[in-house]
Amino acid sequence: MTAPTRGGLDVESMLVLIGGALLVQLGLWHRRFARAIVREGVPANRLERYPPISVIRPVRGIDVGAEDNFRAALATSYTGDVETLFVFDDDADPAVPVARRIVDEHLASGRSGTAEVVFAGSPPPGRTGKLHAMIVGTHRAHGPLIAFGDSDTRPAPELLTELVDALLASPDIGAAFAPVVVSDPPSTSGDVGYAVMINALYGPTVARAAGPRGRLPFIMGQLVVFRAEALAAVGGPACAEGQLVDDMYIGSCMNRAGYANVVINRPLTIANTGTSMRQFLRIYRRWLLFGRNGLPWRFTWPLWLRGIGAWLAAVLLVVSMTASAGWAAIVASAALVGQGASLTRLHEHFGGAPIPVRLRWMTIVMFLLAPLVLASMTRRSVEWRGRKYPLRGRAGLTVPRGTTHTTR
């Protein structure tokens, strides 16, 4: 029997109450995120005529399902003129032959839309490879609308149309982007970690922060469409020089310039499978760095709260077992396992494939891994698509003295 405390409760009862509070908090936040996923949003009016659009897709290396990704990028049902630019560093990239073959197939088919492979050269110091490709692509683009799309995404044919509908729904909207979903069945623990991070954490949090109007002070640039004049008003993509999180930063620039960023409901598929735990931990670290530099506190604090709740449940379980407080250990275990069950349910509710039972342990340790990943941030660099970027401050890029950038 445990000794009573001064207020009359014994230690085990106190531990049970703490565990119960963690379960209540978990239930409340799960319900809020689940509700946010099914938001209706603002219906957009279909246009009678769609303006020309240039879609710039930076590419480096061969992504999972690269062929299908390239094909999906060109298989749009958008009825306006579409120009797609696949932007590489140089012709030594292993994905160049694949892109060229898909472009040739598209042009030979006679389907609508032009496509081209473009070479941007290596980025200068203090500029990410993705941003460099965006800058070069923007100078090659034509038309009143400019879109940027990641090479590991697989857009549905109607997605570009829905983005333009949202963008042109109001003159104060400068950018419209799509939320992302990982729908491939996970086969490794790294797959589970990546899918849960996107589907159970990022996606529902974006939906909750956006609210029914879908407006946010930042963008997530896996597929985003800009008004060309709005993008030019903030200095183009080059406004994000020196930033690791270039797309989020551009969205912040748009917001400060008085333009709104909106997120639509229809998700964009990210192709991902076969991720090792080591690869996932690198992605996890990069996303935490992105969050530090590109996301406002009002967006991230619910995720921190959930992470702290998971850690408190783990600590409570250890304390309860040490104190031989059986009921408290049961409640603490329920709170810890409940975190994993919540992430699993949100992941599937958002569009993710069922997680095999043998891999569900990953959903329980997701938040418990965070301190390990945070500790690795003492290294002032990050690896991203074969490049190593030295960091300064809150995940900005170190620029050597005397370095000057051109926008071409």
pTM of the model: 0.89
pLDDT of 387 strictly over 90: no
CA 85 vs CA 27, 141, 263, 290: distances in Å:
46, 8, 23, 26
Over residues 123-155, the pLDDT tens digits come to: 998 899 999 999 999 999 988 999 999 999 999
Same domain for 19 and 57, yes or no, is: no
> CA–CA separation, 350 vs 403, rounded Å?
44
* Angle at which helices 246-256 and 277-294 cross, to 10°: 20
Q: Please give the residue that has the higher pLDDT: either 11 or 99.
A: 99
Same domain for 214 and 346, yes or no, is: no
Please provide residue 4's backbone torsions phi and psi, each rounded to the nearest 5 degrees: -70, 150
pLDDT of 51 strictly over 90: yes
Same domain for 97 and 147, yes or no, is: yes
Structure tokens at 186: 């996970």
What is the domain-level CATH number for residue 205? 3.90.550.10
Which domain-ending residue is among 243, 275, 307? 275
SS3 category, 235: coil
In the chain, how many domains are there?
2
Same domain for 260 and 375, yes or no, is: no
Domain, as residue range, for 359: 11-37+297-387
> CA–CA separation, 15 vs 339, rounded Å?
18
Most confident of 4-13, 364-373, 380-389: 364-373
pLDDT of 41 strictly over 80: no
Q: What is the mean pLDDT of the chain?
A: 89
Average of per-residue pLDDT across 393-400: 64
For a pLDDT cut of 90, what percent of the chain falls above it? 69
> CA–CA separation, 3 vs 195, rounded Å?
45
Question: Residue 125, class by beta-carbon neighbours within 10 Å (0-12 exposed, 13-18 middle, 19+ buried)?
Answer: middle
Same domain for 31 and 93, yes or no, is: no
pLDDT band at 400 (very low <50, low <70, confident <90, very high): low
* Rama region for 163: left / alpha / beta (φ>0; ψ in -120 to 50; rest): alpha
pLDDT of 222 strictly over 50: yes
Over residues 155-209, the pLDDT tens digits come to: 999 999 999 999 999 999 999 999 999 999 999 999 999 999 999 999 999 888 8
User: Can you give the pLDDT at residue 293?
Assistant: 61
pLDDT band at 291 (very low <50, low <70, confident <90, very high): low
pLDDT band at 384 (very low <50, low <70, confident <90, very high): confident
Same domain for 161 and 270, yes or no, is: yes
Q: Is residue 81 part of a domain?
A: yes
User: Can you give the pLDDT at residue 201?
Assistant: 92
Over residues 68-103, the pLDDT tens digits come to: 999 999 999 999 999 999 999 999 999 999 999 999
Q: Is residue 113 part of a domain?
A: yes
Same domain for 320 and 372, yes or no, is: yes
User: Can you give the pLDDT at residue 401?
Assistant: 52
Same domain for 320 and 366, yes or no, is: yes
Q: Is residue 207 part of a domain?
A: yes
Measured on CA atoms in the order 402, 406, 407, 408, is the torsion positive or negative? negative
Q: Is residue 48 part of a domain?
A: no
Same domain for 176 and 248, yes or no, is: yes
Q: Is residue 168 part of a domain?
A: yes
Least confident of 99-108, 303-312, 356-365, 375-384: 375-384
Over residues 268-286, the pLDDT tens digits come to: 999 999 999 999 998 888 8
